[in-house]
């Protein structure tokens, strides 16, 4: 996966020239107080920087909102709005429970064709691989990488997830939730709860 996707991992400057349908920011941990974890904050900062330079006109926040008490996507949207990004330009994928689900739903629910994926370096090859196998024209920009607490566990988990998503990308099962289409070319407020 790493070798196969390496040429599609770009700098922010390179990605600024893409004119993608959306910048797809993959969710991760939210603190108990509802604020983004450091890792998620770094993803958001990178995605918002891409938005500001015109890499895409829309942000797609994809994460876990499967329980009322845990909500990655509203945390992500609130963070972006607090920094001046209009609500209408921010879409929330409430059922982005896995990298595979996020890519599948970006294509089938949000009707994206060309995306810029934002996550950390260790995660980008898998996300790009799945996106390509699902027919998306996908490029990646790595969020700031620091020595996050628990990174050794994430690296081990990522090896297992690569094997799982290799199979998923080949078999292409539908995610648990799909729903009606909400084209990312429209108004992100349609995804508000």
pLDDT in tens, 14-32: 999 999 999 999 999 899 8
Query: How high is the pLDDT of residue 66?
Result: 76
Q: Where are the beta strands (DSSP E) in the chain?
A: 9-10, 22-26, 59-62, 90-93, 114-119, 137-142
- Long-range residue pairs from 117-121, CB within 8 A, at least 24 positions apart, any chain: 117/24, 117/26, 117/141, 118/23, 118/24, 118/25, 118/26, 118/43, 118/46, 118/47, 118/50, 118/142, 118/143, 119/25, 119/26, 119/43, 119/143, 120/39, 120/42, 120/43, 120/145, 120/148, 121/9, 121/145
Give percent above pLDDT 90 in the chain. Answer: 82
Closest CA to 177 of 87, 104, 88, 76: 104
Both structure tokens of 87: 């609500």
Is residue 23 a contact partner of residue 47, using CB atoms and an 8 Å limit?
A: yes
Residue 109: alpha-carbon gap to chain centroid: 14
pLDDT in tens, 56-85: 999 999 999 878 877 999 999 999 999 999
pLDDT band at 181 (very low <50, low <70, confident <90, very high): very high
Query: How high is the pLDDT of residue 43?
Result: 97
- The model's pTM is 0.94
């Amino acid at each position: 996966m790493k070798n196969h996707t390496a040429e599609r991992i770009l700098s922010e400057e390179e990605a600024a020239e893409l004119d993608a349908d959306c910048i797809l920011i993959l969710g991760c941990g939210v603190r108990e107080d509802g604020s983004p974890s450091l890792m998620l904050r770094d993803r958001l900062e990178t995605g918002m920087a891409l938005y500001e330079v015109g890499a895409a006109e829309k942000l797609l926040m994809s994460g876990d909102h499967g329980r009322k008490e845990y909500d990655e996507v509203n945390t992500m949207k609130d963070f972006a709005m607090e920094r001046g990004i209009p609500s209408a330009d921010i879409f929330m994928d409430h059922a982005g429970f896995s990298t595979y689900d996020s890519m599948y739903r970006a294509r089938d629910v949000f009707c994206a064709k060309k995306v810029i994926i934002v996550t950390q370096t260790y995660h980008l090859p898998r996300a790009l691989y799945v996106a390509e196998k699902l027919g998306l024209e996908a490029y990646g920009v790595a969020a700031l990488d620091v020595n996050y607490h628990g990174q050794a566990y994430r690296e081990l988990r990522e090896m297992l997830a690569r094997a799982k998503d290799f199979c998923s990308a080949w078999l292409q099962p539908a995610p648990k939730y799909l729903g009606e289409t909400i084209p990312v070319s429209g108004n992100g407020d349609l995804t508000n709860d």
